Chain A
Amino acid sequence: MLDPSFLFAQSLSGLTAAMFLFLIASGLSLVFGVLRVLNFAHGTFYMLGAYSAYQIVLWIGPGPGTFWVAALGAALGIAVLGGLIERLLFRHLYGKEELYHLLFTYALVLILSDAAKILWGTQQKSVSRPPGLAGAFTLFGVTVPYYNLFILLLGPAIALGFWFMLQRTRVGRFIRAAALDRETLGTLGVNVSGLYTGVFVLASFLGGLGGALVTPVRTIVPGMDTEIIVEAFVVVVIGGLGSFWGTFLGALIYGQVLSFGILLFPRFSIFSVFALMAAVLILRPWGLLGRPLK
């Protein structure tokens, strides 16, 4: 059982899962950090990204570029959907009690998941890997699909790009300032409500992209929205809500704990993750890299 190549395979699969989790959880964390709304519908954007990618693949038909067009198209579609939801609905929530956030975003989860069932039924759907990345290679006796390698490289690339945007660009400075003091940023001439929309669109894009990119490795089923939102929530709680690298770290830890937890508690692998979350909440309630609320 402690065969090194088996352990390597487990840790690699945990790492791949972590990259998807990071894509989803970073948007959840960004929206919470800046807009101060915990968006339970964020997992629904992920699910809709997956269904949209499936739909676009159906429309275009097989071809070398089909998957990539579908993934990008799905992410953009979800970004637009997110923008509309923010403009028309979300903005009435800012500054209100958390209970309203919870009720509203939960209602959104129910409505959108029913809409998805109407559009795509309840049968499982799947999308095949893009032809260019269909193969696999062997590393330390483990077969690694090229597609997984792509995800392993894409995750850190997106994390670095995201970090660069937040730290080194003017828009990033606006976003960080808005997270600290929305009112003051407005008096300095910055259109904060437009900025909020932009942040929400970006988060929705990442969620939709995560859903689209997961389709070659996971089947698309109703319920994948609530499953991922719980996981993403655990990730941000472990890493620290609103903390960028905390989210990345949280995703890495989650992925590893989940894939090795299977070895310890084969039938309750999720248990080890919740045990970890409980431990973090007891020892560092603000998360590993988060900061205590003032």
Chain B
Amino acid sequence: MTAPPLLAVEEIYTSYGLSQVLFGVSLEVAAGECVCLLGRNGVGKTTTMRTIMGLTPPGRGRVRWKGQDIAGRPPHRIARLGIGFVPEDRRIFAELTVGENLDVARRGAGGRWTEDRVFELFPKLRELRDRQGGVLSGGEQQMLTIARTLMGNPELLLLDEPSEGLAPLVVHHLGEQIGRLKREGLTILLAEQNVDFSLALADRVYVVEKGRIRFQGTARAFREDESIRQQYLAL
């Protein structure tokens, strides 16, 4: 028997009050993989990640972490299992300094991520250490939100639209840093609308539309099938 994937989402249905958003989404992420969730605005990428994280528990379906069902557990417990969530809207603690934002998330003593290590990955943050989070630029906040989540020493990183709203040069730079995390062995589930940015990083791709998975396959298979891009991702 093979080991279960690190994360397996099985047929989840999630709603906000009466409005149902996910209709049986399933996906898997194996250890060391970078998997990308692609889809247009409002198809349910964020909701999928929030469901994994325990922020909007699924009405039906399971979220398995190393084989164990974790759906319904509170977010802090899920985080402590080794799942790190980087929200799309960054959610920096505006009145805490950069250093304090990092400290609040510090977890897993002896793990590979320390303040020094995240400053190596994002040297800019070191200079901003005593600055309040709220005054950082969009790009700096994006680095800080990733750095903050890394401070928890996660095994799996859920990255929700990191490229959103950033200038092309900043996006390019960010892509390189995420690539570095991947090469160092971190497992990543990335939600994106930016196809080129994603394909540079992803091993496998899931395409979401209206709360359902419409395509799954390797990044190469996705690249070669122009019709999928036309059908589900073109504006």
Contact = CB atoms under 8 A, between A and B. Distances in A.
Contact of B104 (A174, A183, A193): A174
A184 B152 contact: no
A189 B83 CA distance: 9
Nearest to B151: A188
Contact of A180 (B53, B85, B96, B105): B96
B79 A177 contact: no
Contact of A187 (B79, B93, B96): B79
Interface string A256-283: 0000000000000000000000000000
A176 B79 contact: no
Nearest to A179: B95
Interface string A160-193: 0000000000100110110011011111111111
Contacts of A173: 96, 100, 103-104
B87 interface: yes
Contact of B93 (A181, A186, A189, A192): A181
A177 B76 contact: no
B118 to A, nearest CB: 14
B195 interface: no
Given A170-B103, A188-B105, A177 B55 contact: no
B80 interface: yes
A190 B103 CA distance: 12
A107 B75 CA distance: 32
Contacts of B212: none
Most chain-B CB neighbours within 10 Å: which of A184, A185, A188, A191? A188
Contacts of B75: 183, 186-187
Contacts of B107: 188-189
A190 B104 CA distance: 8
Contact of B96 (A176, A186, A189, A191): A176
Interface in B69-86: 74-76, 79-80, 85
Contact of A185 (B55, B95, B104): B104
Task: Tell me what chain A mostly uses at the interface: helix, strand, loop, or mixed.
Answer: helix
Interface residues of A, number: 18
B152 A189 contact: yes
B94 interface: yes
B149 interface: yes
A66 B159 CA distance: 59
A104 to B, nearest CB: 23
Contacts of A190: 76, 104
Contacts of A183: 55, 75, 91
A187 B87 contact: yes
A187 B85 contact: yes
Interface string B47-89: 0000001010000000000000000001110011000010100
A188 B96 contact: no
Most chain-A CB neighbours within 10 Å: which of B53, B91, B149? B91
Given A187-B79, A192-B76, A177 B96 contact: yes
Interface string A189-211: 11111000000000000000000
11 contacts: A170-B103, A174-B104, A176-B100, A177-B93, A183-B75, A186-B76, A187-B53, A187-B55, A188-B76, A188-B148, A193-B74
Interface of B: 53, 55, 74-76, 79-80, 85, 87, 91, 93-96, 100, 103-105, 107, 148-149, 152
Interface of A: 170, 173-174, 176-177, 180-181, 183-193
Given A177-B100, A189-B76, 7 more contacts: A176-B93, A177-B96, A180-B93, A186-B75, A188-B104, A188-B152, A191-B74
